[in-house]
Amino acid sequence: MQAADRRPLRPFDFPPISWAWLLVSAMVIVLDWQTKQLASYYLQLYRPEEVFSWLNITLAHNYGAAFSFLADAGGWQRWFFVSLASVISVVLLVWLVRLPRREWATALGLALILGGAIGNVIDRVRLGYVVDFIDVHFGGWHYPAFNVADSAITCGVILLLVDAIVLSRRREGGSA
C-alpha cells in the first residue's frame, strides 16, 4: 500500500476516477428510465410481444422485490424497499468514491449496482411499483420479467464476485 492510499480522505477528496464511475451509474439510470418509458407507452399490461422464440417483451408492474417477493404485502413494502435501496445506495456511493484507482472491476460493479438500484427506486417513488418488461422463457418455463436496472444489478454482482474470487488474487500477487 502506498503512502497516498493510507492518508484519511476528507469529504470531497475523492480519487478523480470515482466521478467517471458515477457517470456509468447515471447512464444506467437514464437507459433504464428510457426503456421503461418506451415499454409503458407501446405495450399493453401483461400482453406479451414475441421478439424471439425464447424472448418476449411484456409490460409488467412489480409491487414487490426480486421475483415479486412481498408483492401482495398490502402496500407497506413500497416504502420499505425505497428506504432499504436508498440506504444501500448511500453505502455503495461511499464505497465507490473511496476505492483506489486500481480496483476498476469493483468500481464498475458498484457503479452498475448503484445505477440499477436508483433506477428501481425512481419507479417505486413515482409509481408505487417497478416497471418490468423483459420476459425470457424456455419451453414452458418463464423467468420473472425484469428490466435494465435489474440487468445492471445482476451484472454488477457478477463482476464483484469475479473480482473477489479472481482479480483480487492477481492484485495481491497470488495465483488465480
- Residue 4 backbone phi and psi in degrees, to 5: -65, -30
**Catalytic annotation, pick one of 123, 132, 135, 163:** 132
**Cα 43 off chain centre by:** 23
State yes or no: is 123 an active-site residue. Answer: no
**Catalytic annotation, pick one of 32, 123, 135, 150:** 150
Nearest to 9, CA basis, from 89, 94, 71 = 94
**Helices 148-162 and 17-42, packing angle to 10 deg:** 150
State yes or no: is 135 an active-site residue. Answer: no
d(CA 20, CA 64): 32
Name the β-bridge partners of 45: 59
141, 83 contact by CB (below 8 A)? no
Task: Please list the active-site residues.
Answer: 132, 150
